[in-house]
Chain A
Amino acid sequence: MIRRAFIALLLGSALLRAEDAAVPTQRVGQPLEIRDLYVPGGEVKAKPRRDRKPPLMVRILEVKPAKDGSRYDFEVQGLEAGTYNLADFLEAPTGTVLPAIPLEITTAIPEGLVHPNPAEASELPEFGGYKTRMKILIALWFAGLIAILLWRKKKTTSGSSAAESIQPLADRLRPLIAAASKGELASDDRAKLERLVIGHWREHRPDIAALPPAEAMSKLRHDPEAAPLFLALERWLHARSSETTKAEIDQLLAPYGDSGRG
């Protein structure tokens, strides 16, 4: 009797162990190897993973031919804890019915733990790289160049318009001649008057204007038309004791005043 009870106990524990061994178990992320698993029918393949959703990753390590089927070595990696049927993750040829191959993936994480946020693709810190930066710099450089060119053009235009706004020589001469005839010319105005008279002759005699200033002055002092007026003006403005009378000054400056009106 005791003997029968012992045998029954041994059989029971052996059955329990066999039942335990039939459901392979592994932790999340750890490889679970299932060797020499007989699957009847045609050769099966692991279903390709199209996305991150399947909770198992399955690899077939080896396929060994067997009667009416094949024996397979599988490597399974669980990504989420739970009980799964490996057959759901395999593809079989048409007509082959896969048997249930249960397995269990366990986890050490306690239940109720908040699931981490889903990993989302974040935006890049900056748009583009070296090439984009270079393109922006080149664009800025050209913009700056155009701005400088426009500014210079504007400056030149304003400079020339300022030059154009200068009164004609005759108009500048007239008030000085009028002041001279009244005897109201200061040294500054006398200097201006003389410079304008020289300018007048340069303006009216292109042959003299084309010469270098020093030669032009020398030519003016020896020119039959200009010299008498010019030398008289010099004596009036520069001589130590100028005895030029008001009438002489009027006579001396008359040609310049008339030319402005003409």
Chain B
Amino acid sequence: MSSVPTPVSQTAEYLQAIRQRVGTIVVGQDVVVERMLIALLTSGHLLLEGMPGLAKTLLVNTLAQAMHLHFRRIQFTIDLLPSDIIGSEILDERTGGFRTHQGPAFTNLLLADEINRAAPKVQGALLEAMQERKVTIGNQSYPLPVPFLVIATQNPIEQSGTFELPEAQLDRFMLCHRLGYPTLAEEEEILRRNLKLGVKRDGTGAVARTEFDLIQGDAIGTEADLVAAMEAANHIHVSDVFLKHVVDVVERTRKHPDLELGCSPRAGISILKASRARALLHGRDYVVPEDLFALAEDVMLHRIRLTYEALAEGKTAAGVLREILEASVS
């Protein structure tokens, strides 16, 4: 890495330190941490698809603490209202006037747990805030804190009583990562760590400690470091050759006979941004095809839709995307 300029290597070290800090609390899930950092560095948003119990909340909480970011979590339910997210005007009995109560959207890192359980108007309110980075309460607009990153989760199996996010709203998530179960070794390590947790005394009583109690220590770096990292990601070199690769893959999704809906130009932009951030995380000052291939599934899979014929033949979007990527290098 001798050819890598100093600022890039410094930023890469800062980001690597964050990953290591998260790794001390959460076992495995290194790819998810990478995706979260990519979303944070590029001001995108992340959708996590995975079964419950895969440490999503712990992961986001740890990352927020490690980066000294404000963190909030909303559990989406069917009876949630838009005002429960963005806030509302409430009557102040002392003054007789209205005062603004800012909702949990006013944070740096917002974990929207099970986003598909809320009614479409609530999803719409959050997705609007994600795009415009400001919310309107009463007649007044309020900018959201920066950085502002939404990490939404949804359960891919349980569909009863849920409202599936439409393609247009899915497109607003820069990345959609599918969380898998940990490997056997990781699972064993999780259990070993859990055995050592013990109990936490509180006055005369005690409560069993959880992994959340391990989130301690000073934040790594400052807000200025994060801003520098965001700027560094924005200066990562993108060659004309890489642009051609991106255009080629995006074009192939539009022409593939098994796809009814191909990738939008926003998908191409997202790949470029995400590739830059990934290159920075890997200590490079230029993007390479590996970035494109590594991020293609997370950036493109939720943006494409299979035809009815392909569905009837038992094909999957992931399989078709793999075909496209393989065809692009043969």
Partner of A238, one of B242, B248, B293: B242
Which residues of the other chain, B, contact A234 by a CB distance below 8 angstroms? 288-289
Chain A residue, CB-CB nearest to B325: A213
Min distance, Cβ A169 to any Cβ of chain B, angstroms: 7
The A223-252 residues at the B interface (CB cut-off 8 A) are: 234-235, 237-240
Kindly state whether residue B328 has any CB partner on chain A within 8 Å. Answer: yes
Which residues of chain A have C-beta atoms less than 8 A from B239's C-beta? 237-239
Chain A interface size range: 20 to 34
Stretch touching chain B among A10-18, A53-61, A93-101, A191-199: A191-199
Indicate if A190 sits at the interface (CB-CB under 8 A). yes
**Given A237-B239, A240-B237: A191 in contact with B293 (beta carbons within 8 A):** no
Q: Are B297 and A238 in contact (CB under 8 A)?
A: no
Among candidates A187, A194, A213, A238, residue contacting B237 with C-beta atoms closer than 8 Å = A238
Q: Which residue of chain B has the shortest Cβ distance to A216 in the bound complex?
A: B293
Q: Are B322 and A213 in contact (CB under 8 A)?
A: yes
Binary B-proximity of A179-217 (CB < 8 A = 1, otherwise 0): 000000001101100111011001100000000111011
B329 touches A199 (CB 8 A): yes
Of chain A, the residue at the smallest CB distance from B285 is A240
Closest-CB distance, B246 to chain A (whole angstroms): 10
Q: Is A191 in contact with B245, judged by CB distance below 8 angstroms?
A: yes
Query: How far is B245's CA from A169's CA once the two chains are assembled, in angstroms?
Result: 18
- Chain A at the B interface: mostly helix, strand, loop or mixed? helix
Q: Is the CB of A187 within 8 A of B241?
A: yes
Q: Residue B274 at the A interface, CB < 8 A?
A: no
Quick check: A212 and B322 within 8 Å, CB to CB?
yes
Cβ B290 vs Cβ A194 within 8 A: no
Q: In chain A, residues 120-141, which have Cβ atoms closer than 8 Å to a Cβ of chain B?
A: none
User: Is there an interface contact between B290 and A195, defined as CB atoms closer than 8 Å?
Assistant: no
Complex Cα distance, B240 from A187, in Å, reads 6
- Residues of chain B within 8 A (CB-CB) of A218 are 290, 294
Shortest Cβ gap from A197 to chain B (Å): 9
The distance in angstroms between the C-alpha atoms of A187 and B246, with both chains bound, is: 13
Do the beta carbons of B285 and A214 come within 8 Å of each other?
A: no
- Name B295's closest neighbour in chain A (CB-CB): A214
Min CB distance A95 to B, Å, is 90
Does A191 lie within 8 Å of B329, measured CB to CB? no
Known A191-B248, A198-B289, A212-B322: A238·B241 in contact at CB below 8 Å: yes
Docked-complex contact A198 and B329, CB < 8 angstroms: yes
Give A187 to B239 CA distance when docked, in angstroms.
9
Tell me, yes or no, whether B71 is within 8 Å of chain A by CB: no
Residue from A191, A221, A234 with most neighbouring chain B CB atoms (10 Å): A191
Q: Chain B 23-34 against A: per-residue CB contact (8 Å), 1 yes, 0 no?
A: 000000000000
Closest residue on chain A to residue B321 by CB atoms: A213
CB distance from B199 to the nearest CB of A (A): 42
User: B318's closest neighbor in chain A, by CB?
Assistant: A212
In the complex, what residues of A have CB within 8 A of residue B286's CB? 238-240
Contact yes or no, A195 B287, CB < 8 A: no
- Bound-state CA distance A188–B243 (Å) is 10
**A217: which of B243, B289, B297, B322 is its contact (CB, 8 Å)?**
B289
Q: Which residues of chain B are near A214, meaning CB under 8 Å?
A: 290, 293-294, 296-297, 325
Q: How far is the CA of A218 from the CA of B3 in the complex (A)?
A: 20
| CB nearest neighbor in B for A192 | B244
Q: Which residue from chain A places its CB closest to the CB of B294 in the assembled complex? A: A214
- Bound-complex Cα distance A203 to B326 (A): 11
Give the residue name and chain of the B residue nearest to A237 (CB).
B241
Please state if A213 and B329 are interface contacts (CB–CB under 8 Å): yes
Contacts of B243 in A (CB 8 A): 187
User: Which B235-272 residues have a C-beta within 8 angstroms of A?
Assistant: 237, 239-245, 248
Q: Does B330 contact A (CB under 8 A)?
A: yes
In the complex, are the beta carbons of A239 and B244 less than 8 A apart? no
Chain B residues positioned under 8 Å from A213 (CB to CB)? 293, 296, 322, 325-326, 329
Residues of B within 8 A of A237 (CB): 239, 241
- The contact of B330 among A187, A190, A199, A239, by CB within 8 Å, is A199
B288–A238 touching, CB < 8 Å: yes
- Asked if A194 contacts B293 (CB within 8 A), the reply is no
B245 touches A195 (CB 8 A): yes
Residues of A within 8 A of B294 (CB): 214, 217-218
The distance in angstroms between the C-alpha atoms of A203 and B329, with both chains bound, is 10
Most-contacted residue by chain A among B241, B244, B326 (CB, 10 A): B241
A-B pairs with beta carbons under 8 Å apart, 8 shown: A190-B240, A195-B248, A202-B326, A213-B329, A216-B293, A238-B237, A238-B242, A238-B288
Given A188-B244, A194-B289, 6 other A-B contacts at CB below 8 A? A190-B244, A191-B244, A195-B245, A196-B329, A212-B322, A240-B286
Binding site for B on A (CB under 8 A): 169, 187-188, 190-191, 194-196, 198-199, 202-203, 212-214, 216-218, 221, 234-235, 237-240
Which 8 pairs, one residue from A and one from B, show the smallest C-beta to C-beta distance? A191-B244, A213-B325, A240-B237, A187-B240, A198-B329, A217-B290, A238-B239, A214-B293
